[in-house]
Amino acid sequence: MKAAEMFSLKGRVALVTGASSGLGRQFAKALADNGAAVALVARRAGRLADLQKSIEAAGGRAMAVEADVTDRTAMARVFDAAEKAFGTVTILVNNAGVAQSGRATDMAAEEWRKVLATNLDAVFFCAQEAARRMLAAKTPGAIINIASVLGLSVAKGVAAYATAKAGVVQLTKAMAVELAFKGVRVNAIAPGWFVTEMNEEYLASEAGAAIKREIPMGRFGKEGDLDGALLLLASDAGHYITGATIVVDGGQVVAIRG
Ligand SMILES: NC(=O)c1ccc[n+]([C@@H]2O[C@H](COP(=O)([O-])OP(=O)(O)OC[C@H]3O[C@@H](n4cnc5c(N)ncnc54)[C@H](OP(=O)(O)O)[C@@H]3O)[C@@H](O)[C@H]2O)c1
Q: How confident is the model at residue 41 (pLDDT cuts 50, 70, 90)?
A: very high
Q: How confident is the model at residue 115 (pLDDT cuts 50, 70, 90)?
A: very high
In short, whether 18's Cβ falls inside 6 Å of ligand 1 is yes
Using one digit for the tens of pLDDT, what is the confidence trace for 61-89? 999 999 999 999 999 999 999 999 999 99
- Burial of 76: CB neighbours in 10 Å, binned 0-12, 13-18, 19+: middle
240 is catalytic: no
pTM exceeds 0.95 for this model: yes
pLDDT surpasses 90 at 204: yes
Beta-bridge mates of residue 245: 188
* Residue 95 CA, ligand 1 centroid: distance in Å: 6
- Tell me the mean pLDDT in the region 189-206: 96
In short, whether 86's Cβ falls inside 6 Å of ligand 1 is no
Do residues 30 and 144 lie in contact, with contact meaning Cβ atoms separated by under 8 Å?
Answer: no
| Pairwise CA distance, residues 122 & 116, whole Å | 8
Q: What confidence score (pLDDT) does residue 258 get? A: 54
Residues in the chain: 258
In short, whether 95's Cβ falls inside 6 Å of ligand 1 is yes
The catalytically annotated residue of 161, 193, 194, 220 is 161
* Residue 96 CA, ligand 1 centroid: distance in Å: 4
| Pairwise CA distance, residues 75 & 61, whole Å | 20
Fold exhibited by the domain 3-191+226-248: Rossmann fold (3.40.50)
* Residue 119 CA, ligand 1 centroid: distance in Å: 9
